[in-house]
Amino acid sequence: MEHDTLVILGAGYTARVVFPLASRRYVQVFATSREPAKNLPTVAPDQRLQFDLAQPDTWRNIPERADLLWCFPATPPEAVQQFAAAANPSSRRIGVLGSTSAYDVGRSTDYPPPWIDETAPVDLTKPRVRGEEFLRLHCGAIILRVAGIYGPGRNPVTWLKTGRVRPSRKYVNLIHVEDLAAICLATLERGIPGETYNVSDGSPRTWNEIFDWSRAHCELSLIAAPDVRETGKRISISKLTEQLGYTIQHPDLFKELLGL
């Protein structure tokens, strides 16, 4: 690593997995929260920082020249720009976790849906996407367009059981949180500033497939499938695997679900 300090901005679900990994690669790792004492009980007090994008007086808590891993939605864009101006971005490497929801698939009804790579247009009507694009174009941030995150405590079978999602022909792209954490560090280490990388396990599945597997393995009762015409997306990760050289460690969703 060029820099020896990393600050994880917004230490929630993903950051908790990034933190121990990062501690092996950086000399110092800090995690931020808007309420550090309450929300970061497992982080040593001297590694906790208070940071709130909406509270400029907390911005000075971020050490100069430290790399930044931005783990919450980069919005509102005005605050993102003001924070970036205060943070001297040219002296750091910055990784930003975005979402595959940024891709604007328009009204395409092709099925199965076409593969989407990083050249696909993004939806700039979304404030978060504008925040990310500002950071990418003006601060050299590396944007990760992240698929649905699963892992311990975030189980797609539970999402079906509780009705958060329903079986349908719609495609979903998922990434195990341990892969996401490793990819965050890989991009900070060797990603190209100003580039975007899609992050998924490379195997889009339909909710029907996940539902059928869940019925067979997890005692899921029959759920009425609404007549969904949405196609979903199929996210390509060729850039991640070929240019960044990352090998997905958890490619088999169903094998992982057995262990959650």
Ligand X SMILES: NC(=O)c1ccc[n+]([C@@H]2O[C@H](COP(=O)([O-])OP(=O)(O)OC[C@H]3O[C@@H](n4cnc5c(N)ncnc54)[C@H](OP(=O)(O)O)[C@@H]3O)[C@@H](O)[C@H]2O)c1
Residues that bind ligand X (CB under 6 A): 10, 12-14, 33-35, 39, 51-54, 71-73, 97, 99, 146, 148-149
* Cβ pair 30, 47 in contact under 8 A: yes
Number of residues assigned to the chain? 260
Query: In this complex, which beta carbon is closest to ligand X, that of residue 33 or of residue 231?
Result: 33
Query: In this complex, which beta carbon is closest to ligand X, that of residue 84 or of residue 149?
Result: 149
Query: In this complex, which beta carbon is closest to ligand X, that of residue 19 or of residue 224?
Result: 19
CB proximity list for 216: less than 8 A, separation 6 or greater = none
Minimum CB–partner distance for residue 206 and ligand X (Å): 17
Minimum CB–partner distance for residue 222 and ligand X (Å): 26
Whole-angstrom distance, CA of residue 155 vs CA of residue 125: 30
Residues facing 5 on adjacent strands: 28
Query: In this complex, which beta carbon is closest to ligand X, that of residue 38 or of residue 107?
Result: 38
Minimum CB–partner distance for residue 25 and ligand X (Å): 19
Whole-angstrom distance, CA of residue 66 vs CA of residue 49: 13
Nearest one of 199, 176, 173, 204 to 186, comparing CA atoms:
199
Minimum CB–partner distance for residue 187 and ligand X (Å): 13
Residue nearest ligand X (C-beta atom): 12
Burial label for 223, CB within 10 Å (0-12, 13-18, 19+), is: middle
Minimum CB–partner distance for residue 223 and ligand X (Å): 21
**β strands within 147-190, DSSP E:** 148-150, 171-172, 174-176
Query: In this complex, which beta carbon is closest to ligand X, that of residue 71 or of residue 157?
Result: 71
Minimum CB–partner distance for residue 227 and ligand X (Å): 25
Minimum CB–partner distance for residue 259 and ligand X (Å): 19
Whole-angstrom distance, CA of residue 251 vs CA of residue 182: 14
Question: Helices then strands (H, E): number in the chain?
Answer: 9, 13
Distance from the first to the final alpha carbon of the chain: 33
Query: In this complex, which beta carbon is closest to ligand X, that of residue 12 or of residue 20?
Result: 12
Helix (H) or strand (E) holding 13: helix 13-25
Query: In this complex, which beta carbon is closest to ligand X, that of residue 9 or of residue 244?
Result: 9
* Cis amide linkage into residue 77, ω under 30° from 0: no
